[in-house]
Amino acid sequence: MSGNSIEDGFDRKIAEMGIRIKDGNQLKVRDDVLDEITLLSLHRLAHKKWITAIGGSISTGKEANVFFAERESQDLAIKIYRIRTANFNAMSEYIVGDRRFSGIRKTRKDIVFAWTRKEFSNLTRAYEAGLPVPKPLVWDRNILVMEFLGCDERPFPQLRSVHPENAEEIYHGVLAFIRDLYQKAGLVHADLSEYNILMGDRMYVIDMGQAVTPDHPRALHFLVRDIGNVNRFFSQKCQVREEREIFTEVTGIPQKAKT
């Protein structure tokens, strides 16, 4: 199937749902995004008026595509996890051991559905704790609808793409996020890096699907990795703190207990 026929088919099906197409030339859809489950989910969300328009692609990640969308005059981001090509083995590492999602069948579809619900749950916990994450609105099967972080339909840039003069201030802000996420929201991000920190009117953290609760068997391992990633990035920009000191501040666990 050619790229044009894929896009034309998507446009036609979206229009049939009553969703307005914005910037059709920018709406690029891969064949592995377009399946019956995704179309059914979009239809349900459109029927409930969660989505009234869909625009261009914001990002294409390893597991999901993110598109700009609207709900009346509200700017949204819709994240569509690809059921056909998602690496559900990698996803399983973060779901297995999370008591919130025990009993999930280990089929690709079930893992992707659980992952979407997990990201919605994690975002909700972080947002309700007052942390700088996009506000989650609704999820349906493999689609997550949330607040759009950007301006004029353009997303805020990733931290890796900006050259801030106040690097030390941002660094301490990221450490505060790690601490508050653990202490106030009861979560470890588990994949924090300069790729999922956005810089807009303030710092925002995205991509919360893999975040785990502190009782997850690998939570502390993930926390150590997050701290290491942050220090690695900022070490060329400002003075960084000792990783064990940060770990103890976040968890309250003495340095010698870190594994």
Task: Using DSSP bridges, classify how beta strands 53-60 and 20-21 pair: parallel, antiparallel or unpaired.
Answer: parallel
Element (H, E) at 58: strand 53-60
C-alpha distances out from residue 216 to 88, 154, 232, Å: 18, 36, 25
Question: Pick the catalytic residue: 31, 191, 201, 226?
Answer: 191
Alpha helices per DSSP H over the chain: 3-16, 36-47, 88-95, 108-128, 167-183, 219-234, 243-251
Do the Cβ atoms of 196 and 207 come closer than 8 Å? yes
Question: Pick the catalytic residue: 98, 140, 207, 226?
Answer: 207
Provide the 3-class DSSP secondary structure of residue 23.
Answer: coil
Q: What is the DSSP letter of 191?
A: S
Quick check: is 191 catalytic? Answer: yes
3-state DSSP percent of the chain in helix, strand and coil, to 5: 40, 20, 40
Quick check: is 98 catalytic? Answer: no
Handedness of CA 39, 45, 49, 51 (dihedral sign): negative
Do the Cβ atoms of 156 and 211 come closer than 8 Å? no
Give the residue carrying structure tokens 């700088």. Answer: 132
Q: What is the DSSP letter of 144?
A: E
Cβ neighbours around 244 below 10 Å, total: 14
Q: Which residues are catalytic?
A: 191, 207
